[in-house]
Structure 1
Amino acid sequence: MHVPDGFLDLSTSLATGAASVGVVAVSLRRARAELAESTAAAPMAGLVSAFVFAVQMLNFPVGIGTSGHLMGGALAAALVGPWTAVICLAVVVSLQALLFADGGVSALGTNVFLIGIVTVVVGYLVSRAVMAVLPGRASSAVPAAAVGALVSVPATALVFVGLYAVGGAAELDLGQLTAFMLTWHVAIGVGEAVITGLTVGAVVATRPDLVRLARRYRTNLVVTSADGQSREVTATPVADGVRRIGLGWVAGALGVCLVLAGGVSSWASANPDGLEYVADRMGFLGTAEDSAASGSPFGDYAVAGIDNPYLATGLAGVVGVLVALGIALLVARLVRPSSAPRDDRTSEKV
């Protein structure tokens, strides 16, 4: 749901831009506490940004003639916390607009607001509410994050409808716009839920201490004794056992991001995404304007001068993953208090 320039008038774009700047500024301050919890927090912020960027390149088919992609707010909030998630998504959306011409430059504040703030807030609040009624264990974070992801997508679609009602470029039947946006984005939300659940599930299975949504809960561990007998024990709360993230785990996670963006992305659906499809159906797609970044050498997720479309897309994806990783990691390092406690002392607890 990357809004192009021209869909909303200037005053609405400026208002959402101002709101986004304010929320991101608050997030930079509030994320200090999240990033101070562990030396693993800053690398996780970088990896989450890289992963969201990579998976957003993978448009999946939805219905006939349209597609959807991960927005990632609920996923990021589950893994690194809501304040850090806002920073991660703001990095990704800004990179997409300025380097890859995905989403308008004048609409950048709108896209940060929708994709980087609304999805995070709704996804996190719903996930926490679901966690409160599920069994108190780390694995409950998987369905909780999936439900949060499912709800966050149509909720964001409704916020877009509200913005369009205030400053849309064309006169539309708002009831029809709402119906179209909800219909397609509920379907896209199902895909978002599946991707979020699988990702959080993979991290819970390997490193539950890296899932911030799960840290206040206990996790069951399988312990094997010297005689080869295995038994399941209930460990201390995950928060009591946060470890260093480990170079091997980082390399594996980054490798997944590079494979997705550098290889799998070439086979993503070419159909228009939900917003573009609805805009075409309702007759306001023509109000979209070319992005000011359309001349970028990586515009439209392709490297200028490379004729092979698979290679051009793959190289652009690799560049995007590495830049998103680097910027988010740098910001997290700068935001994280220099006096934050190290987590070496808990390395043996999980």
Structure 2
Amino acid sequence: MPDTSAMPVFDGHNDVLLRLFRKGAQGVEQQFLDGDGEGHLDLPRMQAGGFAGGLFAVFVPSPDPDPAGARAGRREAMSGESYDLPLPAPLSLGEAQPVALAMAGILFRIEKASGGRVKVCRTAAEIRDCMARGVLATVLHFEGAEAIDTDFRSLEVMVQAGLRSLGPVWSRPTAYGHGVPFRFPGSPDTGDGLTDAGKALVRECNRLGVMLDLSHLNEKGFWDLAELSDAPLVASHSNAHSICPTTRNLTDDQLARIRESGGLVGINYATSFLRPDGQMSADTGLDVVLRHMDHLLEKLGEDGVGLGSDFDGATIPAEIKDAAGLPNLVAAMRQAGYGETLVRKICWENWVNVLERTWGG
């Protein structure tokens, strides 16, 4: 049974589906349910830490014969006083769609095999019900829209299947827009805005009630989307550029616009987006997380800040370590003087409320 003593957390971003997909073995769904002890997430550790639900990302990796080596190389490249990693080449629809469907299938098979312990949620009411009953509330999210054709025929199908959140880009360019490179120090103003197809995608997602995710989108794309969208603006896993000046973080002007829209920013635990020196190091104290939290609360208000861990996709502070360590972050918030009402808002209420405003129920 879930640990009901832990503060529930609804999280804006994780990459466990990518981690399971890369294992390439039969039975990964049961390994997740039983607890494989790998990465940051499996059901037993999530229950132990109060991880009650979140957006589960489908991210199609760029082809690489040695993904583990590529990740190690990225860690090494992001360890200097400055860095600027080249963006991978775009993916075609034919390359991306089968992988995205396979990864989404892992989530649906987890739900089926869970015996009622996991549910793919399509409404905010379902999320609230799951959290009340101790059922893991998952939301299907696409991190990058490469698997969506520009006529949006597949978008309709995927929404019917359960897709409720979509980022037009990861960092590489798509038919819809341009992401930011991994650059430090750097501004998010790195190139062109949304394409015509990207603007049409915004309108379609608004029509279908799909949340649009601003994380990874460059600044011109951000402003294009902000001008077009009639939904709350949300960045699922981003931090404050004024504290950590990396391309992936949000400027104060962007934060002001998100606040105007009634939107939300989920704080990313990735240390390279937390630390003022931009380093990818687990030796990063929770005081740095709280610096970003304080800044975002100042700029967004108490209703505009959530959590967006990037579990299974980033190097995170050792004091958190994995999902079972979430109570350490909650304890740090309390020790910093955050009252229980604010802690509850940041941990889960703000996320569920913004999804309800976006989805209409």
Measured against the shorter chain, the TM-score band is: under 0.3
State the TM-score, normalizing by the size of structure 1.
Answer: 0.28
The TM-score normalised by the length of structure 2 is 0.27
Higher relative contact order (CA 8 A, sep 6+): 1
- Larger % of helix: which? 1
